[in-house]
Amino acid sequence: MVGVEVLTKYFSDFTDHQLQQFKALGTLYPEWNEKINVISRKDIESLYTRHILHSLSIAALIEFQPGTQIIDIGCGGGFPGIPLAIFFPEVSFHMVDSINKKLTVVREISQAIGLTNITVEHTRAEQITNRQFDFVVSRAVTTLKNLWQWGKPLIKKGKEHEIPNGLICLKGGDLAEEVSESGLRPHIYKIDDIFKEPLFEDKFLLHVKKG
């Protein structure tokens, strides 16, 4: 199993505490996955590349400023939110999913590694009406059209970063039809331009700004 070294191959400035947190994920996720299946059995062997490094492609794209507020829609077992919360300890992550047992994994793993910048809510994104965030992040949850429909009302307008506030989502495969159906014009980044790993050949980062 590839370990934390695939992260340090691309990021050189982790603190010792962050490294320990990332290393702990390699034990905690397989243990929790036996109880509550949040990662496919075949993928657990490539946890660090397929899930953790994949999530951190967002950190390679943008350096979130301290105090930034982010919502992870359909966070499942904690991706991309948990790796990003380790990477950005002064940024707040609100983890949302409609399946409560997956949030159990998020809560337990966050607590085990001492993450204090994560909050968890068992709800659907479209039911949140009283809060706004700087960015929505999401990973292969639904179509771009749906994500934007749910996420747009939750995003504050603004540009405190190198890219404007908006939706950042991780997608794979041929996106032409999905982007066309969305009616949006996302900025699309190839992840294998960021991380030279064969797994990322058909993986993309999409950014849609709140206009």
Question: Over the stretch 53-69, which tens digit does the pLDDT of each residue have?
Answer: 999 999 999 999 999 99
**50 labeled binding residue:** no
**139 labeled binding residue:** yes
**74 labeled binding residue:** yes
For each of the chain's 211 residues, which pLDDT tens digit applies?
678 999 999 999 999 999 999 999 999 999 998 898 888 877 888 999 999 999 999 999 999 999 999 999 999 999 999 999 999 999 999 999 999 999 999 999 999 999 999 999 999 999 998 899 999 999 977 899 999 999 999 999 988 898 999 999 999 999 999 999 999 999 999 999 999 999 999 999 999 999 7
pLDDT of residue 1: 60
pLDDT of residue 2: 77
Look at phi and psi of residue 202 and say left if phi exceeds 0, alpha if psi is from -120 to 50, else beta: alpha
pLDDT of residue 40: 82
d(CA 207, CA 185): 9
Residues 6+ apart with CB under 8 A from 113: 20, 21, 24, 25, 28, 86
Helix (H, G, I), strand (E, B) or coil at 82: helix
Q: Which amino acid is at 174?
A: D
**41 labeled binding residue:** no
**125 labeled binding residue:** yes
pLDDT of residue 24: 98
First to last CA, the chain: 43
What is the torsional sign of CA 152, 153, 154, 156? positive
User: Going from the N-terminus, what domains does the chain have, and what CATH number goes with each?
Assistant: 5-209 (3.40.50.150)
Closest CA to 134 of 51, 207, 54, 60: 207
124 sits in which H/E element: none
d(CA 119, CA 50): 24
